[in-house]
Amino acid sequence: MPAPVPRQKRATIFDVAAEAGVSRGTVSRVLNGEPYVSASAREAIEAAIAKVGYVRNTAARNLATQSSGAIALIVHEPHSVFVDDPNIGAILLGINSSLSAADYQLVSLIIDTERDSQRVTGYLGGGFVDGAIIVSAREGDPISQAIADLRLPAVMIGRPDNQPQLPWVGIDNRGAAEQITRRLKATGRSRIGMIAAGLDRDSGRDRLAGFRDALGDGYDESLVSRQSFYTHDAGVAGMAELLRVDPLIDGVFAASDAVAVGALEALASAGRRVPADVGVVGFDDSAWARRAQPALSTIRQPAGDLGARAAELVLEQVRSGSPAADGVLLPTEVVWRDSA
């Protein structure tokens, strides 16, 4: 970064001390609400603080205490997904509420380019945060490696695969996928396909694995369309592909609600009725699911809880100074609506 102009000088503990006629040590004590300060001194100091408009320089405090009171959330999503990933927002809010309750500041860092990645790494090592939460890490993510190297307390949301050993919190994608696929099958469908996505991360792979588990011998590789991202477009393309491969397909498990909505559209264009001709199920229970036509049967993911739990896990590590438990799995739920 280019050398910026230093900000206007503000009052320091020094000024407060002078104004109140006490030493800096005493000022520090009242600032930190410590005992052993006379009422008169406290009063004088409080008056002085107000008078000189003192605001504590937390950065300096950190240097002295060797801790910052902040936790980073690192979001690493491709541009296209980020803007309408339904989970990110809920996770964020969940993390924030846990952290907030413990008086920690959440700072969210987004990684969109290689350059960002470098800079964020520096930031994490720079003493600005006491810990980090990583969302949507991918295989061989340089950030998780850096965090491991820095020995920064951290937690991943979503079970990592080839990642360095970091604790994580996630859902049982595989089990949930199996469950909803079975349910779909139980509606009497016999030619069930899947629009898979995000296969470069655990969630995507596990959902596919669960689908396979549910179908057992009936699993047909050709009825799986592999898409890159959990997007609406992926759903449109994937459904078109599936219809081409098997025009008689009568059931589809989409890897996410956004994908499912895309599939719904493609089915409509192809003149198929849902659920009469084809049953469709999604994953996430995002806003899309409720508003889709017809409303989507899907898996409810406890996004807020995921965040909250992750936050608790980092704080635990920060406080104890030692790594936390391996991983925790939060329960999901099948939400059955009209699309299947």
Choose the stretch contacting DNA; rule: CB under 7 A; options: 48-56, 178-186, 212-220, 272-280.
Answer: 48-56
The one among 23, 34, 38, 122 contacting a second copy by CB under 8 A: 122
The one among 107, 209, 328, 334 contacting a second copy by CB under 8 A: 107
Residue 12 interaction partner, one of DNA, a second copy, none, beta carbon < 5-8 Å per kind: DNA
The one among 34, 51, 126, 190 contacting a second copy by CB under 8 A: 126
Should residue 150 be labelled a site residue for a second copy when binding is judged by CB under 8 A? Answer: yes
Q: How far is CA 81 from CA 40, 76, 163, in A?
A: 58, 10, 22
Should residue 119 be labelled a site residue for DNA when binding is judged by CB under 7 A? Answer: no
The one among 38, 145, 162, 320 contacting a second copy by CB under 8 A: 320
**Phi/psi at 192 (5° precision):** -105, 130
> Quick one: 97 or 187, whose CB is closer to a second copy?
97
> Quick one: 63 or 325, whose CB is closer to a second copy?
63
Give 5's DSSP letter: P
Pair of tokens at residue 215: 């179908």
Should residue 35 be labelled a site residue for DNA when binding is judged by CB under 7 A? Answer: yes
Containing 109, the helix (H) or strand (E) segment is strand 105-111
Choose the stretch contacting a second copy; rule: CB under 8 A; options: 118-126, 190-198, 240-248, 275-283.
Answer: 118-126
CA distance 35 to 42: 10
Name the residue type at position 1. Answer: M
Q: Which residues, other chains included, contact 102 with Cβ-Cβ below 8 Å and sequence gap of 6+? A: 315
Query: Using alpha carbons only, what angle is made at residue 156 by residues 152 and 158, rounded to the nearest 5 degrees?
Result: 170
Residue 229 interaction partner, one of a second copy, DNA, none, beta carbon < 5-8 Å per kind: none
CA distance 251 to 220: 13
> Quick one: 60 or 110, whose CB is closer to DNA?
60
Should residue 26 be labelled a site residue for DNA when binding is judged by CB under 7 A? Answer: yes
Q: Min. distance of Cβ 13 from DNA in angstroms?
A: 3
Other CB atoms within a 10 A radius of the CB of residue 158 amount to: 24
Q: Of 94, 87, 97, give the one whose Cα is nearest residue 136.
A: 87
Interface positions with DNA (CB under 7 A): 3, 9-10, 12-14, 21-26, 28-29, 31-32, 35-38, 40-42, 54-57, 60-61, 63-66
